[in-house]
Each structure stands twice: as structure tokens, then as C-alpha cells.
Amino acid sequence: MTTFQRARSEEQRAARRRMILDGAAAMLAEMPVAQVSLNELSRRVGLAKSNVLRYFESREDVLLELLNTAAREWLADFADEVAGVVDAGAGPSERSAQFAGALAASLAARPILCDLISAQSAVLEHNVSPQVVVKYKRAAGQTIAVLVRLVLEHVRELGERDAEWFTTASIMMAGAAWTHANPASAVEAAYAADPALASMRVDFADTLRDVLEVLLAGLLARARARWAEGPPG
């Protein structure tokens, strides 16, 4: 353990926070969110737990910040990924299916992000102050706004309200699908012991793609029905 020296400037405080975040990110590359502990994080970054808590109020505070960072980085990549998959000249049904597939595949390629998303509501938001929640939610709102714009760009028949609904539902479904696709060891053992249970296995990418495709198809059908009745006015 190194001798603790209090950060005196904003630059020093930012560097100390970055060191803690980098340590937590390295842990997530080795283990699931549930196994990341403040004690082990403190040991890895060479600080006492009490000193880590000078910069983050809890383990969950650290992980929520990592979630926001991971989400921003993902969307920066996804904008290019989806542009290469969705055929702008195709019909709305085909484009929506292409978008759903691209979104599911992109998330499946980022297991750390998916693990953080799956823990967000049930775990990460339960040991933090309202101030941390406000900071996290504001950053998350900016991220969601980017995804909404991508939905509207590629499935332009949707209105903004439906695009927002689809985006929110997509994130929730990603978290739920990830949890079911990565069950506890006892569940895995049960699947292995009883072949009759094999049909209950969940593949994350396939399940999320199918659900998102159905969601978009339903939203498009509803949008067409609205316009068949005539524009509001």
C-alpha cells in the first residue's frame, strides 16, 4: 500500500478519480459486476478504502460512472456500425429489421456494457445519494438522446415519441436478456444435467434481435394506423 497523499488541485483530484475508474474497468474485464468489491478495488489502486471514498461515495458510484463512459463509447462506434448495415433505400420493415439486428449485435460485442446495464436498476442505483443519481441520469439522458437520433435517422417513419419509447425499451430489454443469457452456476448445472431444459437457454444476441425487431414492427404498424386516420389537427 502506497502512502496516501491528498490531492491538492482539481487536476490531481481528476487524476486520482481516473486511476480509480481505470482500476475498476480492469476488474470488469476479469469478472462480472457482482464480484467487483470496494476492498479489492482499493487494493488494486494502492489506496485504503477510506481514501477511495474521498473520490467516490461507493462502489456503485464508480460503476455508474463507468456505465456512462461505456455507453458513450459504444454509441460513438454504433453510429458507424449501423450506417454500414441499414440500407437507406430499403422499405421501413427491412430497415427496422436491419437496425434491430445491428443494435443487438453491437451490444452483444460489449459484454461489460451489457453487464453494467443489467445491474443498473436493481443494484447500482441502490447505494448512492440523490446527487450521484442526478449526475448519472443527466448523462444517461444525453446518451439516450443520441440513440433516439440514430433510430429516427434509420427508421424515419417513426415519430420522436415512438423512437424515445423504443430506445428506452431497448435498454431495458438488453439488461433483462443479458441476465437470462448469463444465469447463475446452479442454473447452468441444471441445464447440463437435464437435456429437457435445454430449450430454456437464452442466446443474448438472438433474443434481443428478435424482441427489438418485433418492437419496431409494432411501432411502425401503429404509426401507419395513425396516418391512415389522418394527420392530427
Q: Looking at the 3D structure of the chain, how many domains does it have? A: 2
At residue 7, the pLDDT reads 57
Q: Is residue 10 part of a domain?
A: yes
Task: Point out the least confidently predicted range of 99-103, 137-141, 227-231.
Answer: 227-231
Q: Is the pLDDT assigned to residue 129 strictly greater than 90?
A: yes
**Average pLDDT in the 107-112 region?**
97
Whether 4 and 95 share a structural domain: no
Q: Could you tell me the CATH number of the domain that includes residue 39?
A: 1.10.10
d(CA 214, CA 216): 5
pTM of the shown model? 0.89
Residues 62 and 109 in one domain: yes
In the block, cell 442466446 appears at: 203
Domain span including residue 15? 1-56
Is residue 113 located within the same domain as residue 140?
yes
179 and 70 in a single domain? The answer is yes
Let me know: does 185 contact 146? Beta carbons within 8 Å: no
233 lies in a domain?
no
